[in-house]
Structure 1
Amino acid sequence: MKALITGASSGLGREMARLLAARGYELILCARREERLRELAAELPVPCRIIAADVSDEQECRLLYEAVQSEDLEVVINNAGFGLFGEFVTADLDEELRMIDTNVRAVHILTKLAVRDFVQRGRGYILNVSSSAGFLPGPLMATYYATKNYVLRLTEALREELRRAGSPVRVCALCPGPVDTEFNKVAGVRFSLSGLSAERVAREAVDGLFAGKAVVVPGAAMKAMTLARHFAPDSILARITYHFQHKKGAK
């Protein structure tokens, strides 16, 4: 049994690697920071292959999958991603495009290539890391929220296609709220709500994936939010989100 994890050098990716290793999976760990990957591999009780790659680059994405295609993968976890805080008008365009390449294009490419192989083999699991942001409009983090909506809706649509085809391949979207990782440092924010531990979120994600869930939303507060959003129009949700986003940026 083998699994590929992108963004494996820290946070959720690192914790999911530990959980899959505990289940006996050999791992292919991918991230930009090779030294971090080697440190993780050294602590895990299973064989690990290290691939240093920047999945924001389309060619590197394709080369990554070509490098692992013969490994008879059973699990692919698209975890690499980052956020960016600021008004859309003033946010750095190049950084936003890099975010779209990482959060959307890389997920799209690796999901497409993996699911084709998995369908042909008649087995496999894909976990795409979205966010609770994927359910909402996101003023002050507009591009990030939009990328996570793409990941969520792509995963849900693909799942329905697989279901109708009678395929045993399973796809799942992870949609956490705040998590105690390096995300807020990279995005330039501080959370206004307490974050869940990366270990807890990773455990719920891995358990949900193998249980065949479509969407995993860790934590009671985020579950309540996803239900409550049905009772308010998007215009009101955008105002509420702005309020919480503005508090995030008040450092």
Structure 2
Amino acid sequence: MPKFAVITGASSGIGAEFARQLSARGYNLMLVARRADRLQALSNSLTTACEIFTADLTQKSECLRLADALADRRIDLFINNAGFGDCGPFLQTDLEKELQMISTNIRALHILTKRITQQMEEQGSGALLNVGSCAGLMPAGPYMATYYATKAYVVSLTSALAEELREMHSPVYVGCLCPGPVNTEFNAVANVQFALKGITPEFCVRCALHGIHRRKTVIVPGPLVAAGMTLGRFLPRSAYVKIAAHQQQKKLYR
């Protein structure tokens, strides 16, 4: 029987690439996003069975509707990918956009992590990957303050849950993908230009699936970003934040 994977934020970028690579590995899929037309086009290009579930995960009710729709399904892999960013001085960025970001990057991810991990524990197996960012491994990100804060939440929650599952000797895996820049539509949504060269979604997802196989709690694709995150641990916090501010200022559109 084919394995079954669910991908949120599947209409573009990393989510769409997860769909392609998992379909190539024989997974049947449920693709979750707001844009049904994009999900249908992606589904038409894949070789395994795909279900389309349209939902606006900025809404708590929509998160619960998705969880309820999956309650009686066996889920082998859940990719918690929905999320977005924004860039600019905190005093100038749009409050409504930030609240939607918090709803998606934190609340939706929290609801689905809890409900799906509980379900996997009951079924006796499964893997859940939360898509974070290397931003979540850093102390702060001036000029992307809210985004960095949301991704820090993702890393902290995932790491804590992973340790709890280990201490329970649970067969369920939970991990967090923390890429640096990835060449997706993130730039346009977040109003940024990357200061560093981005990796491809294909490479990012290959690293993620390899990390899941190895049951790594935090997966950082690319040796340069991984090395940077490691070296950053030895910097004073104030120096690290100043470096982050300098890098974020390069991203702002002129």
Note the alpha carbon deviations across 1:161-200, whole angstroms, 9 max, x for none: 0000000100110000000000011000100100000110
Mapped to 2, the partners of 1:240 and 1:90 lie a distance apart of 21
What residue in structure 2 maps to residue 239 of structure 1? 242
Range moving further from structure 2, 226-235 or 4-13? 226-235
CA offset at residue 100 of structure 1? 0.3
Two-structure CA RMSD over aligned residues (Å): 0.8
In the superposition, the TM-score normalised over structure 1's length comes to: 0.98
Give the SS at the match of 2:51. strand
What residue in structure 2 maps to residue 88 of structure 1? 90
What residue in structure 2 maps to residue 62 of structure 1? 64
Q: Where does the alignment leave 5 or more consecutive residues of structure 1 unmatched?
A: none
Range moving further from structure 2, 124-133 or 225-234? 225-234
What residue in structure 1 maps to residue 142 of structure 2? 139
Contact 1:155/1:172 (<8 A) preserved: yes
CA offset at residue 250 of structure 1? 4.1
Contact 2:77/2:126 (<8 A) preserved: yes
Mapped to 2, the partners of 1:95 and 1:28 lie a distance apart of 27
Match of 1:199 among 199, 202, 206: 202
Mapped to 1, the partners of 2:214 and 2:59 lie a distance apart of 32
Give the SS at the match of 1:71. coil
In the superposition, the TM-score normalised over structure 2's length comes to: 0.97
CA offset at residue 71 of structure 1? 2.1
Q: How many residues align?
A: 251
What residue in structure 2 maps to residue 43 of structure 1? 45
Q: Where does the alignment leave 5 or more consecutive residues of structure 2 unmatched?
A: none
Q: How is 1:207-226 mapped onto 2 (pairs within 5 angstroms)?
A: 207-226=210-229
Percent of aligned positions that are identical: 49
Mapped to 2, the partners of 1:156 and 1:173 lie a distance apart of 8
Contact 2:87/2:144 (<8 A) preserved: yes
What residue in structure 1 maps to residue 18 of structure 2? 16
Note the alpha carbon deviations across 1:26-84, whole angstroms, 9 max, x for none: 10000011100000100111110001111111000000111122221111111011001
Give the SS at the match of 2:71. helix
What residue in structure 2 maps to residue 72 of structure 1? 74
CA offset at residue 234 of structure 1? 1.5
Match of 2:123 among 117, 121, 124: 121
What residue in structure 2 maps to residue 188 of structure 1? 191
Give the SS at the match of 1:196. coil
Asked if 1:171 corresponds to 2:174, the answer is yes
2:19 counterpart letter in structure 1: A
